[in-house]
Amino acid sequence: MQHWTKAPLLALVLGLAAWSSLQAQAPEAGAASSTTIPGTTVAVETVYLPGGTFEWQRGEVIQTAEIDPFWIGTYEVTHDLFSLFQHREEDTDESNWEGGGFEADAVSRPTPPYIDVTFGMGHEPRHPAVNMTQQAALLFCGWLYQKTGEFYRLPTEAEWAYACQLSTKEMGELDAHAWHYGNSEETYHEAGEKAPTWLGIYDLLGNVAEWTLDAYTEPETAGEEVLDNPWAVPEQRYGRVVKGGSFDSDAEDCTCMAREKSSIRWQQRDPQIPKSLWWNTDSPFVGFRLVKPAKQASPEEVEAFFGKAIKW
């Protein structure tokens, strides 16, 4: 049994005060962070975005949204990272997760895809991972939580738009930063070949479009209400928001405002009934980027989130 004395208690109080002071000193915008996946040399790289309020335009409607601070992926999720989740032989039992014992054999992993999901564009380590369903991207986030002990997820549409507006406000010519139909030669490219935004984010526009958490909805009126971290929770499998445009998009569609709606047509060539839970057959232009809330969720909150976000 531990017996506290006055001196250790004083040290604890002083330590907590110092910790609180450090917590109050938020990182600067664009501060970089890296988390290595246990048992590998592959890392998740992120940059910090402070919270804020911004004008969020969808179609003709402009709303005001308030966003909490978060970390966003420096790059789109690349093949080398997604492959650790996809292929059991590349994973290990090593984990930093304190919520339970991690067993690689117990992980539900993507089934082998029906076709070459890259359409021959390549799956080199730094190529973006593509053609997965939004559900598969979310299950990847669940695996990543169990490997690292850090809660990563897809961004909400509002978070993505906020990151884009904040990050690209001083961006020069689009061609210097984005792969689009006019310069991509109709293929995606390795992450980070183009110049980053001033905050250090690569390929936020173009290369591959990026899944968000949201159902595709059309706001009816602007209103004066400030939306608090809005999330249009999906109620069905299809009709999710994809942002940023891709190598197959015209330059004018690679903007912070542009949005695309996922469709069952993205699984048109899948002969299975029902369609694959893991893979699309016809969206090699879609991948995803991670975010990590600055305020990390409890294990109970993480479990509740995935139960709410994933719709089969």
pLDDT tens readout for residues 156-178: 999 999 999 999 988 889 999 99
Q: What is the mean pLDDT of residues 32-50?
A: 98
- Given a contact cutoff of 8 angstroms between Cβ atoms, the answer to whether 78 and 192 are in contact is no
Write down the pTM of the prediction. Answer: 0.91
The pLDDT of residue 1: 35
What is the pLDDT confidence band of residue 15, given thresholds at 50, 70 and 90?
Answer: very low
The pLDDT of residue 221: 74
The pLDDT of residue 6: 32
Q: Is the pLDDT of residue 8 over 50?
A: no
What is the pLDDT confidence band of residue 218, given thresholds at 50, 70 and 90?
Answer: confident
What is the pLDDT confidence band of residue 197, given thresholds at 50, 70 and 90?
Answer: very high
The pLDDT of residue 2: 34
The pLDDT of residue 83: 98
Of 20-34, 136-150, 257-271, give the lowest mean pLDDT range. Answer: 20-34
Cα separation, 70 vs 159, in Å, equals 9
The pLDDT of residue 172: 87
| Domain covering 27-309 in this structure, CATH number | 3.90.1580.10
Cα separation, 100 vs 120, in Å, equals 39
72 or 225: which leads in pLDDT: 72
Per-residue pLDDT tens over the stretch 89-110? 999 999 998 877 899 999 999 9
Backbone angles phi, psi at 111, to 5 degrees: -70, 160
What is the pLDDT confidence band of residue 16, given thresholds at 50, 70 and 90?
Answer: very low
The pLDDT of residue 170: 82
Give, rounded to a whole angstrom, the gap between the first and last alpha carbons of the chain: 49
The fraction of the chain above a pLDDT of 90, given in percent, is 81
Q: Is the pLDDT of residue 18 over 50?
A: no
